Chain A
Amino acid sequence: MADEELSPTLPHRRDAIKSSVHNIAANRRRQHAIAVGKERREALIRTKRLCRDSLADDSEVPLEGHMIIDEEKAVLDSKTSRTVEELKSAMTYQGKGAIQKKVEILRALRRLLSQSEVPPIKAALQAGAVPALVQCLSFGSTDEQLLEAAWCLTNIAAGEPEETKSLMPALPLLIAHIGEKSATAVAEQCAWALGNVAGEGEELRNILLAQGALLPLARLMLSNKGSPTRTAAWALSNLIKGPDSRAANELIRIDGVLDSITQHLQKADDELATEVAWVVVYLSALSEKAISLLVKSDAAQLLVARLVASESLQLLIPVLRSLGNLVAGSSYMIDSVLMSGHNITDQLLSGLIKCLKSEHRVLKKEAAWALSNIAAGTCEHKKLIFSSEATSLLMHLLSSAPFDIRKEAAYTIGNICVTTEKDAEQPCIIVTHLVSLVNKGCLPGFINLVRSADLESARLGLQFLELVMRGMPNGEGPKLVEREDGIDAMERFQFHENEEMRNMANGLVDKYFGEDYGLDS
């Protein structure tokens, strides 16, 4: 109990300059050991922060036959790694001219990444380009630096899927820099990079959406800044591609988006209109809401006007597809917009005819598809198409076009020949149309479809044969079919694994070529 003495405190004495090394050494060593633990903790949590999903890597498949360019590639690769290293060390340098130095290195890196056919993306990634570039995107960096860094990232994002994925740590910053406060060029470059990322696949799209890329991109599209607006529209179209429809639904609900779309469709040059039309393509493909808003807006009229006026394949494709989507997706479009006698209807038809005549396969197919949807409309629509130049074009396509176009043409022709009345068990046949078309020689085309391995086409063919056999006056139908080897085509389904098709084909053969067939002739 008397252990603790009463002793006045001695004045503090300083340490002698000449002291033994073990005192400081042991302390330093222990502190170092503890500091290492702290560093490891920080490193661990930093990786957790920056990586939402583990970055898969090393999926390289050695390609043969690339020996010649290997050497060049090696030079380019080593140059790239060196540049990335320079960038990393420049990041820690704070002195005079540091900012300019960084920009120069970034520019060099960006050029390397856009240089050859096979840009040295992999080398850049292995050298640790992404973290360094992410750091370059720090807020408060100069616009020049932001631009170059985003450009580098854009180039990397244009690479292989795994390379695109490596951009993940950069996404939050790229998104942040498309905000209103950013310089236009920076915003555009970031949008570009994001568009590349979004184009890579659904997984990355979902990540971008989760990180809030949609709204700022939409805002950028709303702006009338020319090129950045276009890039934003392009990136948006990549972003809302789906297949999940949530993004498209979200986009159309953003204030001003619809107005902006119509405005751009009306006023923009072909290039911007193209990108905006692609946005409309995905909106109209994925979102009911979007369709209902679009058809009630001026968009349809504007799209039709573009279809008629433009000669740009790039623009015509999305315009055509959008129109097809709208027609297919909304009865309002058929019933209230494309009414017979409306100017728009005639315009659309002439636009579609233009496309059917075009050299481009895609245009022909998209136009045929759009027509098929219009042909599914009212009798007025069917008549309109039937009496237009489209019919002969479609007949021609049915006999000679590539398979996918042929199918769309067949749908259209089929639709022209029937009306779907309520409660009717079978479609009613518009005999005049059917007779005229059969007489013009469309039957062989459909029998070819019956022979097709594609079930949908085969069904379409069978359905048309049924129309012919049922609808041609004077029981001429079965004979025509027999003449074109249609029985043989149908009998292929006798033991077909698809029950519906088997029953349908067998039913037709039994009905029209059964025991009674030929007795009365």
Chain B
Amino acid sequence: MAMEITQILLAAQSQDGQIRSSAEGNLKQFQEQSLPHFLLALSIELSNDQKPPESRRLAGIVLKNSLDAKDSIRKENLSQQWISVDPAIKFQIKESLLRTLGSSVSEARRTSSQVIAKVAAIEIPRREWQELIGNLLNNMTQQDAPSLKQATLEALGYVCEEIAPEDLEQDQVNAVLTAVVQGMSQMEHSFEVRLAAVKALYNALDFAQTNFQNELERNYIMKIVCETAVSKELEIRQAALECLVSIASTYYEILEAYMQSLFNLTASAVRGDEEPVALQAIEFWSTICDEEIAIQDEFEESSNGSSCPNFHFVEKALPLLVPMLLETLLKQEEEQDQDDGIWNLSMAGGTCLGLVARTVGDGVVPLVMPFVEGNIAKTDWRSREAATFAFGSILEGPSVEKLAPLVQAGLDFLLNAMRDQNTHVKDTTAWTIGRIFELLHSPISSYPVITSENLPRIMSVLLDSSRDAPNVSEKVCGAIYFLAQGYEAPGSTSSLLTPYLGDLISALLYSADRADTNNSRLRASSYETLNEVVRCSNVPETINIIAQLLLEILKRLGQTLELQIVSSDDREKQSDLQALLCGALQVIIQKLSSSNAKSIILQSADQMMAVLLQVFACHSSSVHEEAMLAIGSLAYATGSEFEKYMPEFYKYLEMGLQNFEEYHVCSISVGVVGDICRALDKNVLQFCDGIMSALLKDLSNPMLNRAVKPPIFSCFGDIALAIGELFQKYVPYVIPMLQGAAELCSHLDDSDEDMLDYGDQLRRCIFEAYSGILQGFKGSKAELMMPYASHLLQFTEAVFRDKNRDEGVTRAAIAAMGDLANTLGPNTKVLFKDCTFHVDFLVECLQSEDDQLKETATWTQGMISQVLVS
């Protein structure tokens, strides 16, 4: 039985909104009534060459979206749904998909190959659909079926992209690689087949570990890839170079034998090939740099050297590589500075040169400086820009001793070049000055770049140039940003900047307001630079200026409320501007609250709060993220005074906590709860029921991004610390959540970096929650936690046994253990006696280099030993 759904699928794409939504309703109804038949109908629709391409296309999309989603929880649900479909129907669907690979309609073939990969992603790791690879490879032996072969290769590529190397048997991998490499190499194949084969290889490379260990197989693969990289078709050459980039990153350790030919290949691509190919050739070298930088970092960090040998390919190729890259710098595009995301030969070459400098350090300098000196004064703007760009690119990596004399000698030249006739030159010059400040400017350096002698001139040039073309002005913001930041270095004082603070702020406010550009970059850079200038300024001498700025920012924020909003575009612009202004507000509040100038905040608190509440009010659908951050700072700064704002603010806080779709907003709101707890202390109690139920709801919401969950746990700790024993009533809800999350930590996929990070965060925050609750209960309600003590210790032990945990987890764990002993006292004697891991754990922590960890561990040791002698 298969229902006819062509008409509904077509209607779902109708121009007429009513028809469309009714069709969408029908599809949804069908889906809910019988998912298996719905999926089957879609697959049949996709496979039927008699059907219109539009309905087949949508059938493919709906099918794919029924199998996979970006959100991991939804994705897991979809997988489970698919798994539970009747095997007979699944078989029919898969047959239908495989059949579609032979369709005469190319879009149907491609869609089908992608859907096949989605099914494979679910089934193959479960050791199901094991015949898929065989079926696909069988397609490759068909005579005269170029489109089937193309679709099959695409399917193989997508399958490899979806599954993990361990999901395939080695003989399957061998067969796939053979088929793919044959698809690449046989010249009788059409362009489409060969392109599909190269792209499939790109995805299959991760599976070829064993094959790359075998010299014969490796030689063969490398030979074919290199040959393919000089095919006559551009797209194939580009795809082959992408393969080489991937090989450089995955198989760095076997490259040595091929390096000479790879250098020749990439050099001629950079010099003579078309841009997409040349960009990949540069990318190859950038990737080699990445690898060698990683090896060097690993070598420096660990005492037993790095796991991979460093072949110093970059250093060996340096005399040829650097000139090649310098040439690319001269291939600028006109107007390239107007676009932030520009990626062309010059940009890729400069980026690669920067990586080369980080890889080899001083060695790059003598190879680059003649180019800089030879070109920087030429009449042709491209030469001057390339020379400046080259200089700016090599500022990170070489030693200060090597760079400082060059910078000291060249800074004045660069300052003069801010009056160049050419905007590109000025743009790159301002960027280079910014890089100098970022990397070399520190008042405590033995090679100071900025001195009290040259500061006036630097400031005057920067202030003048901030009124230059918008793109130049924006780079000047960058220079000011790093100039201010450099003065924040520990042990120094930013008072040298104080005389310029007023002018800097005016200049930045001016550039933020410029109407001669509709590019939002300048505005954003101006405000962010303003923030950094404020953050690094030296209080108390700048307090008056900052207080004035606060009023100005409040005024501007007030003005955004008056903006006329007719379109969603207007709304977005208003929101963006409010974000920048709230950001500035937050920085100012933070600055003033960390000084003795709190009175200024208290004076303006009513006004700030009124404006922020209006900002919230003018976005009915969501809560403004930056406004929320500003509120957090304000709450902390005003302390118990903040209570009077709570009645009005509370609804926005609750909205923020409930906004699981925009998880950033949710996460920041959770953080603000913490700020409010610290501000109101016991008085936060009146809001706790609402806050706690929102938080608990969030935790059990599968749609909420998991990143928010750890902060929620920490937030429980904040609340418990604030309200102390009154947290008692939430314990029955909170502890099971903590225990569940602790349980989850032991099941996380430890091959996935992101998951590992997440696990660390989760564990740290679980401990923070326990710490807050334990410390909150200390004294009066300690016994309430007794039933959970043993579980907490077990969890701590599991964490201790995991040697991959990060320091933050260690610190939180050792602290929570101390809190347990501290709060529960002699009651825990038996527990601590029964488990001995705490001794080893403490020893480990006490030997740490981290003072804070040592301090905490010492405290914990004291607490436990008290318990043990009790």
Contacts and interface: CB of A to CB of B under 8 A. Distances in A.
Contacts of B12: 1-2
A216 B771 contact: no
A32 B342 CA distance: 29
Contacts of B286: 14
B351 A14 contact: yes
Contacts of A33: 586, 590, 629, 632-633
B849 A140 contact: no
Contacts of A22: 477, 521, 524-525, 527-528
Chain B facing A: main interface SS: helix
B529 A37 contact: no
B389 A4 contact: no
Contacts of A29: 528, 531-532, 583, 586-587
Interface stretch (A39-47, A100-108, A190-198): A39-47
B863 A6 contact: no
B575 interface: no
B718 A26 contact: no
B27 interface: yes
Interface in B134-169: 158, 161
B347 interface: yes
A139 B869 contact: no
Interface stretch (A60-68, A153-161, A168-176, A326-334): A168-176
Given A6-B60, A94-B849, A21 B481 contact: yes
Given A25-B529, A37-B632, A17 B351 contact: yes
B859 A40 contact: no
A6 B525 contact: no
Interface residues of A, number: 53
Given A22-B524, A139-B861, A175-B862, A1 B822 contact: no
10 contacts: A1-B61, A4-B65, A6-B110, A29-B532, A37-B674, A49-B818, A49-B822, A138-B855, A140-B846, A179-B865
Contacts of B636: 37, 40
Interface string A229-263: 00000000000000000000000000000000000
B340 A20 contact: yes
A48 B722 CA distance: 11
Interface in B765-783: 768, 771-772, 775, 778
A42 to B, nearest CB: 8
Most central of A20, A172, A175 by chain B CB within 10 Å: A20
A11 B249 CA distance: 14
Size range of the chain B interface in the assembly: 35 or more
Given A1-B24, A14-B283, A91-B851, A21 B768 contact: no
A37 B629 CA distance: 10
Given A33-B590, A139-B858, A211-B866, A26 B340 contact: no
A44 B778 CA distance: 15
Contacts of B863: 172
A17 B393 contact: yes
B608 to A, nearest CB: 16
A210 B821 CA distance: 13
B671 interface: yes
B265 interface: no
B384 interface: no
Nearest to A140: B846
B91 to A, nearest CB: 24
B36 interface: no
B714 interface: yes
Given A21-B529, A49-B775, A176-B862, A212 B587 contact: no
B119 interface: no
B183 interface: no
Nearest to A47: B775
A21 B434 contact: yes
Given A21-B529, A44-B721, A49 B859 contact: yes
B854 interface: yes
Given A1-B12, A6-B110, A33-B590, A20 B474 contact: yes
A19 B61 contact: no
The 10 A-B residue pairs whose C-beta atoms are closest, nearest first, are A172-B862, A25-B528, A21-B478, A22-B524, A22-B525, A212-B866, A17-B351, A138-B858, A17-B354, A212-B869
Contact of B478 (A20, A137, A211): A20
A216 B13 CA distance: 82
Nearest to A25: B528
Given A92-B851, A94-B849, A216 B671 contact: no
A215 interface: yes
B751 to A, nearest CB: 20
Contacts of A40: 636, 674-675, 678
B590 A36 contact: yes
Contacts of A216: 869
Interface string A2-39: 10111011010111111111100110011011101100
Given A6-B60, A17-B350, A26 B528 contact: yes
Contacts of B704: none
A6 B46 CA distance: 14
A6 B531 contact: no
A4 to B, nearest CB: 6
A50 interface: yes
Nearest to B283: A14
A135 interface: yes
Contacts of A19: 340
A21 B24 CA distance: 44
Interface string B1-34: 0000000000011000000000010010000000
B847 interface: yes
Contacts of B531: 25, 29
A26 B13 contact: no
Contacts of B431: 18
Contacts of B527: 22
Interface in B619-678: 629, 632-633, 636, 668, 671, 674-675, 678
Contact of B674 (A30, A41, A175): A41
Contacts of A176: 861-862, 865
Most central of B57, B721, B771, B866 by chain A CB within 10 Å: B866
Given A2-B12, A135-B855, A172 B866 contact: yes
A30 B582 CA distance: 11
A139 B772 contact: no
A2 B13 contact: yes
Contacts of A49: 775, 815, 818-819, 822, 859
Nearest to A3: B61
B760 interface: no
B64 A215 contact: no
B629 A30 contact: yes
B725 interface: no
